[in-house]
Amino acid sequence: MPLAFTVIPNASRGITGILVVNALMPANNSILQLPNQVIPNGFSVLIKALPRNPIASLVFIAFDRNALVAGQGYPLSPNEPILYGIDNLADLYISVSVVGIGIAYTCEVKNA
C-alpha cells in the first residue's frame, strides 16, 4: 500500500512535527491497522476520507478489527473528517467499500 508523509516542523510545546499521511487501500473489504505512532498526551488525530474518493464510496473506521469484519465500523463519506483523542494510531483499523479509495490523517508527533 502506498504511504506518503510530510513532517512539518513545529517547536511549540515540545512537539517536533506534524505527521500527514495518505493511505490508499489496495483491495475492497481489506482491513488495515494504522501504524504504530504515539500521539502526545492532550492531542488528537484527524482522519479524513480523501476528497477524490467516489461519491458513493465509504471508508469504515473501528477500534477493533472484528468490528470491521462484522460491518460495524464508523462510515466516512468522501471528504468527511473525524477527530479521535487516542494515544496511538495503531488503536484504529480501516476498511473500504471500493478498491483504491483511502484516507488522510494528521497528528502532531514528538521526535518526528
pLDDT per residue as tens digits for the range 30-75: 788 888 888 877 788 888 888 888 998 888 999 998 888 877 889 9
* Encoded amino acid at 29, one letter: N
Q: How many angstroms separate the CA atoms of 58 and 56, rounded?
A: 7
Q: Virtual CA dihedral for 101, 44, 90, 80, nearest 10 degrees?
A: -20
Q: Which CATH architecture has domain 3-109?
A: Sandwich (2.60)
- pLDDT greater than 50 at residue 20: yes
Rounded to the nearest 5°, which phi and psi values hold at 68? -70, -40
Indicate the helix (H) or strand (E) that contains 24: strand 17-24
Over the Cα atoms of the chain, what is R_g?
Answer: 14
Q: How many angstroms separate the CA atoms of 29 and 65, rounded?
A: 12
Distance of CA 85 to the CA centre of its chain: 13
Quote the pTM value: 0.75
